[in-house]
Amino acid sequence: MDKQDKKVSVLLYADWAAPLRSLPLEDIGRLFLGILDYITTGAAPVLDNPGAAMAWQFMRMRLDDNLEKWDATRQKRREAGRLGADVTNGKERQKAAKAANAGFAETEAAKPAVPVPAPEPVPAPVPAPEPVPVPVPVAAKAALQASPDGEPPLPPPECEQEQEKAHTPEAQWVALGLGKTLGPIVRQTIQTYREAGLEDGLMVEAMREAAAHQVKAPAAYLDSILGRCRAEGILTLSAWQARKRPAGSSKRVDRPTPSGNDFLADAVTRPRRHKRK
């Protein structure tokens, strides 16, 4: 392939910064090298982090669009050069080149604009929904009245299942306003850490923290928190809360005796100093 047929440059877009800020530096470096390899060889990078994989899909759309425009421009220039070589007269060659460039401009203007996905709006923090009291069915009321000891019967299994579904990470993602729907990336992230042994209550608490901080990329923020918990062996909500330092705590240590020199210890026996005249 001729040197002029190879693409040696790439455009970087400012809106890529939002999904990259929440990633580790190692993943950012892999993404940058992956962009260069994708432009020159067409090979996509292999990423283990779900957040980095989601950012790559966002950037790949822009890269593919630029490659298509570059290929179209190169083809038009080849046609213009071929037409110019066939015409021997200088004036006719110039007319042929102008006609080819004009046709290329009309083709570019007729192309529909590629829609750019709008950034996800920052959701306002939504308080956790209060549990809705489940009405007791008529059959359960009759059993309660017929019970000699007057103890309430157990709720039906269907009610318990509905209450459990309302507090799952899948339901809380939409209830907390982190997204309008549960996308495939978030669903895969929840399933991955659930299989790794992380408790659902820990994932729900991480979602509430993302909603309270109003993060711009809640999916990447959730993956970052859960990834650190898995690396440190924190699998339950109680273990995570015990690890976090309580609000208002400090590093000050109270000792039974003061450390250092006590200036007032020998105030009575110490000779007084007079100001020099």
The residue assigned the tokens 């005796």 is 257
**What Å distances lie between residue 121 and 57, 205, 210, 211, 250, CA to CA?**
19, 21, 14, 12, 36
Q: What confidence category does residue 3 fall into, taking pLDDT thresholds of 50, 70 and 90?
A: very low
Question: Is pLDDT above 60 for 265?
Answer: yes
Integer Cα distance of 262 and 252 in angstroms = 19
Average pLDDT, the chain: 75
Position 87 scores a pLDDT of 54
- Beta-carbon contacts of 116 under 8 Å, excluding residues fewer than 6 positions away, are 15
Position 202 scores a pLDDT of 86
Residue count of the chain: 277
**What Å distances lie between residue 179 and 117, 121, 135, CA to CA?**
15, 9, 30
Integer Cα distance of 34 and 27 in angstroms = 10
Position 123 scores a pLDDT of 65
Helix axis angle, 218-231 to 184-195, nearest 10°: 10
Question: Is pLDDT above 50 for 128?
Answer: yes
Integer Cα distance of 209 and 9 in angstroms = 41
**What Å distances lie between residue 8 and 79, 108, 147, CA to CA?**
22, 22, 82
Asked if 169 and 204 touch (Cβ cutoff 8 Å), the reply is: yes
Phi–psi pair at 155, nearest 5 degrees = -65, 155
Question: Is pLDDT above 70 for 258?
Answer: no
Question: Is pLDDT above 50 for 96?
Answer: yes
The residue assigned the tokens 């570059």 is 70
Question: Is pLDDT above 60 for 34?
Answer: yes
Q: What is the mean pLDDT of residues 222-240?
A: 89
Q: Which is nearest to 203 in space by CA: 156, 171, 243, 246?
A: 171
Position 69 scores a pLDDT of 84
Position 192 scores a pLDDT of 92
CA angle 8, 11, 13 (to 5 degrees): 160
Question: Is pLDDT above 80 for 31?
Answer: yes
Integer Cα distance of 48 and 52 in angstroms = 8
Could you tell me the pTM of the whole model? Answer: 0.34
Q: What is the mean pLDDT of residues 15-20?
A: 81
Q: What is the DSSP string of 118-149?
A: PPPPPPPP-PPPPPPPPPPPHHHHHHHHH-SS
Asked if 157 and 189 touch (Cβ cutoff 8 Å), the reply is: no
Phi–psi pair at 276, nearest 5 degrees = -70, 135
Return the amino acid letter for 167: H
Integer Cα distance of 117 and 26 in angstroms = 26
Position 21 scores a pLDDT of 83
**What Å distances lie between residue 143 and 140, 150, 155, 206, CA to CA?**
5, 9, 12, 41
Segment 156-200, tens digit of pLDDT: 556 566 666 678 888 888 888 888 888 888 889 999 999 989 899
